[in-house]
């Protein structure tokens, strides 16, 4: 389980609790500590749409850059191309809200839910998912911090996630976590697979990052 949280006395404490994220990603309305799930839904479903997470009653804007969005879309496409014909499960995108640890409302860039984890059709119509994905994927953006991702990863594993992929476009690597602390690093010489969660799925890391290669004349 995630470590006990330190009390917040100053803005510096607030930023530190959230993982040293840039302050411009912390929303001040509602006042931090008073935000609710309704506030998160209002922004995520509104016009203009604003992707936010609800962390300790604080609305935090999710980091998502231009190339990161393309890579997330490609990973979701590859997963869908594998799971849909086999009727294995369902794949969510960057605006899918999931409740973890009972009170936190989180967003991942891509998520995979096997049908066996979903109790009934009504579950799919909930505004906020109540089941942690079997596979959660984070495509890190420049404003993401290591501590921010560490906390999110711990929350997902504590809530039932089995695989957590951290995709790093800058270094062209994928960190594959099988629990909150155990991981291995894949480079462009390697192939990402679904492990025991999604046996048979594979994606060459070179092909993943090659998706952004501009076509030659």
Least confident among 5-9, 74-78, 117-121, 174-178: 5-9
pLDDT at 154: 97
More confident residue, 6 or 79: 79
Contact assessment for residue 191 and residue 165, using Cβ atoms and an 8 Å cutoff: no
Structural domain tally of the chain? 2
User: Does residue 43 sit within a domain?
Assistant: yes
pLDDT at 6: 72
- Residue 214: pLDDT band with limits 50, 70, 90: confident
User: Dihedral of the CA atoms 78, 81, 82, 88 (nearest 10)?
Assistant: 120
User: Does residue 188 sit within a domain?
Assistant: yes
Instruction: Note the pLDDT tens digit of each residue in 20-57.
Output: 999 999 999 999 999 999 999 999 998 888 999 999 99
Instruction: Note the pLDDT tens digit of each residue in 97-112.
Output: 999 999 999 999 999 9
pLDDT cut 90: percent of the chain above it: 90
pLDDT at 217: 53
- 53 and 105 in a common domain: no
- 185 and 87 in a common domain: yes
Half-sphere exposure (CA, 13 Å, Cβ side) for 35?
A: 26
- 71 and 19 in a common domain: no
Residue-averaged pLDDT of the chain: 94
The answer on pLDDT for 184 being more than 50 is: yes
User: Does residue 198 sit within a domain?
Assistant: yes
Instruction: Note the pLDDT tens digit of each residue in 4-24.
Output: 667 788 999 999 999 999 999
Strands (E), 56-144: 58-61, 89-92, 97-100, 104-107, 110-114, 135-139
User: Does residue 5 sit within a domain?
Assistant: no
Mean pLDDT of 161-183: 97
Mean pLDDT of 84-93: 97
d(CA 75, CA 214): 18
d(CA 126, CA 113): 15
The answer on pLDDT for 1 being more than 80 is: no
- 149 and 164 in a common domain: yes
Boundaries of domain holding 87: 66-210
């Amino acid at each position: 389980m995630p470590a006990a949280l330190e009390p917040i006395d100053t803005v510096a404490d607030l930023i530190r609790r959230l993982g040293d994220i840039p302050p411009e990603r912390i929303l001040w309305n509602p006042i931090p500590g008073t935000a609710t799930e309704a506030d998160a839904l209002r922004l995520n479903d509104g016009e203009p749409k604003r992707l936010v997470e609800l962390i300790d009653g604080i609305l935090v804007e999710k980091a998502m850059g231009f190339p990161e969005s393309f890579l997330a879309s490609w990973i979701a496409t590859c997963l869908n191309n594998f799971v849909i014909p086999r009727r294995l499960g369902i794949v969510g995108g960057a605006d899918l809200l999931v409740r973890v640890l009972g009170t936190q409302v989180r967003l991942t860039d891509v998520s995979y839910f096997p049908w066996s984890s979903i109790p009934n059709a009504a579950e799919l119509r909930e505004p906020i998912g109540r089941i942690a994905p079997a596979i959660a994927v984070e495509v890190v953006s420049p404003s993401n911090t290591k501590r921010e991702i560490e906390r999110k990863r711990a929350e997902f594993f504590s809530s039932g996630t089995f695989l957590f992929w951290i995709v790093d476009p800058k270094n062209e690597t994928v960190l594959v976590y099988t629990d909150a602390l155990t991981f291995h690093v894949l480079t462009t010489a390697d192939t990402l697979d679904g492990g025991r969660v999604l046996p048979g799925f594979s994606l060459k890391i070179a092909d993943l990052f090659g998706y952004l290669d501009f076509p030659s004349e």
